[in-house]
């Protein structure tokens, strides 16, 4: 009878270790899946920042030229600035969407990791109980 308890304890331990390995693998997989999106979102934010700096510089430049140049030149510069502002807005939309996508996936990934880690803890608890039962029977 004690051999059956030992076999059950060993089996429980193997199951627990398998679940733990699966949990670790899943957490690493989630990190790998989300990392490129996060890096892309960060790059989009940096691009947006650069575009905003360029837009601000262009605006200052146009303001200075307004004092020195005729209205036709200023109008051309304003059209260029308007185009750059449109690009900047589009870049902002893409950056916000990238960040939103990453934020939307994080809760599910965290929940998956919590479930897997909970299963691992339950497996370890089952092993402990099986060993304690085996020791009690052997005593």
Which H or E run contains 95? helix 71-138
55 three-class SS: helix
Both tokens of 119, joined, read 């299963």
According to CATH, the topology of domain 2-138 is Helix Hairpins (1.10.287)
Interatomic CA distance for residues 131 and 13, integer angstroms? 10
pLDDT tens-digit map of 77-96: 788 888 888 888 887 888 78
Q: How far apart, in Å, do the first and last CA atoms of the chain sit?
A: 13
The pTM score is 0.40
| pLDDT of the residue at 6 | 78
Please tell me what DSSP assigns to residue 83. H
Q: Which residues are CB-neighbours of 47 under 8 A, at least 6 positions away?
A: 91, 95
Give the residue-averaged pLDDT of 8-33: 84
Task: State the pLDDT confidence band at 3, using cuts at 50, 70 and 90.
Answer: low
């Amino acid at each position: 009878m004690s051999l059956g308890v030992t076999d059950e304890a060993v089996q429980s331990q193997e199951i627990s270790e398998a679940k733990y390995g699966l949990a670790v693998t899943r957490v690493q997989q989630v990190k790998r899946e989300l990392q490129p999106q996060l890096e892309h979102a960060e790059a989009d934010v940096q691009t947006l920042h650069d575009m905003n700096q360029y837009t601000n510089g262009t605006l200052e430049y146009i303001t200075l030229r307004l004092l020195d140049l005729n209205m036709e030149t200023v109008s051309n510069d304003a059209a260029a600035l308007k185009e750059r502002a449109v690009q900047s807005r589009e870049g902002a939309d893409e950056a916000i969407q990238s960040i939103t996508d990453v934020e939307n996936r994080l809760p599910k990934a965290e929940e998956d990791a919590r479930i897997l880690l909970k299963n691992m803890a339950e497996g370890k608890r089952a092993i402990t109980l099986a060993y304690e039962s085996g020791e009690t029977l052997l005593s």
